[in-house]
Amino acid sequence: MVLQARPKATLVASDLFAESFDQHFGHSDRPQQRLITNLKAAGVEQRATIETADMCKLPFENASFDAIVSSYAIDHLSRDGIKQALGEAARVVKPGGDFLLMLVANDKWVKLAFGPLAMHGGFGRGPDWWSTRAKEAGFEVLEQGTTPATLYFVLRRS
């Protein structure tokens, strides 16, 4: 959808594609193929590349991207891992660049509805905790909010 709405944009999709990918999305010979299939179906595969990478040690140059997105991944990490990943996000996005951070809402109704699937994010990691961590990494919070099952932040690198 991002590439369809922005015909001049390019995208780098990054994931570890580890065994947790299979646990969440089912086994396939090459998990990247699932993404390629979706990109082809949308007609945007020529403007996207896929990189296998760890969000705590991104293989990209400093200030490589105008904008970045993390969706439902960083909240699986430990406190130290979160600090590392947010630091890497700040490193690879250009000054003034934006970062959309989406997390599973740490909400009792979400946990009731989805059970163990939503049981990550740690206790006490609500909006204030995440906002503080983002600011410590060098981001300013432009917007934060919730939608069903999602806590999100629109951040800008200082």
State residue 115's pLDDT score: 73
User: Average model confidence (pLDDT) for the chain?
Assistant: 87
pLDDT over 90 (residue 1): no
Q: Per-residue confidence at 125, pLDDT binned at 50, 70, 90? A: confident
- The domain at 54-158 falls in which architecture? 3-Layer(aba) Sandwich (3.40)
Structure tokens at 43: 């007609």
Tens of pLDDT, residue by residue over 38-60, are 899 999 999 999 999 999 999 99
pLDDT-derived band of residue 88, with 50, 70 and 90 as boundaries? Answer: very high
The model carries a pTM of 0.85
Cα–Cα nearest to 72, from 114, 34, 100: 100
65-71, strands of its sheet edge to edge: 65-71, 93-104, 150-157, 139-147
- β-bridge mates for residue 71, sequence order: 102
Domain boundaries, the chain: 1-52, 54-158
pLDDT of residue 108: 75
Contact in structure between 103 and 71 (CB atoms under 8 Å): no
